[in-house]
């Protein structure tokens, strides 16, 4: 896929006027979390909410970092996500969870982020399999005789 970087604006969710810019975040679909330099997060007024969270690095090493909440803006897309307070030597990453919240996906050929399209959701509307018909006891429907022992509703596909 190759590496590429994007710019990002980080806003304090409690005070949206407090913000800071990140000029280069590496897009990393293999990382769950977004990692931003702690000095940038502090400049935006973002405070650590979870301390000493364990993270396993690609080489297997376990490290701990603090995590806070931030509004992330990439171009016109925005989301609220947890961000890791990156320390000197850590990469600054835009992780998979933020990409999902931003509703962006990677265009690997163009090495850029593009709109991911409609968000799939569950629906409360039942699927339409046919017309609902009330069938009384010993009644005949359009498609043939249907015998029942009591009054009940059944679904019959009517063409």
Percent of the chain with pLDDT over 90: 68
Out of 24-38, 41-55, 140-154, least confident range: 140-154
Q: pLDDT over 70 for what percent of the chain?
A: 76
- pTM, two decimal places: 0.74
pLDDT of residue 86: 97
What value does the CA radius of gyration of the chain take, rounded to a whole number of Å?
26
- The residue among 100 and 121 whose pLDDT is bigger is 100
- Predicted confidence at residue 75, as pLDDT, reads 94
Which of the listed ranges 43-47, 118-122, 130-134 does the model predict with the highest average pLDDT? 43-47
The residue that leads in pLDDT, 99 or 123, is: 99
DSSP letter, residue 57? -
Domain coordinates of the chain in residue numbers?
Answer: 5-113, 128-159
**112 vs 106: CA distance, rounded Å:** 6
CATH annotation of 5-113: 2.40.70.10
Residue 2 has a pLDDT of 75
Q: What is the DSSP string of 40-88?
A: HHHHTT---SEEEEEEE-TTS-EEEEEEEEEEEEETTEEEEEEEEEEPT
Q: What is the pLDDT of residues 92-120, one digit of tens each?
A: 999 999 999 999 999 989 999 999 988 87
């Amino acid at each position: 896929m190759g590496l590429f970087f994007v710019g990002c604006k980080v806003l304090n969710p409690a005070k949206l006027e407090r913000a800071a810019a990140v000029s280069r975040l590496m897009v990393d679909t293999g990382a769950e979390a977004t990692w931003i330099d702690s000095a940038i997060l502090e400049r935006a007024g973002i405070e650590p909410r979870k301390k000493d969270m364990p993270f396993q690095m690609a080489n297997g090493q376990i490290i701990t970092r603090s995590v806070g909440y931030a509004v992330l803006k990439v171009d016109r897309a925005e989301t609220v996500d947890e961000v890791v307070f990156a320390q000197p030597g850590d990469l600054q990453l835009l992780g998979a969870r933020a990409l999902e919240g931003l509703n962006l996906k990677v265009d690997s050929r163009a090495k850029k982020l593009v709109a991911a399209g409609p968000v799939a959701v569950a629906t409360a509307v039942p699927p339409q399999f046919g017309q609902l018909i009330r069938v009384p006891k010993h009644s005949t429907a359009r498609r043939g005789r249907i015998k029942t022992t009591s009054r009940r509703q059944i679904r019959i596909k009517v063409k």
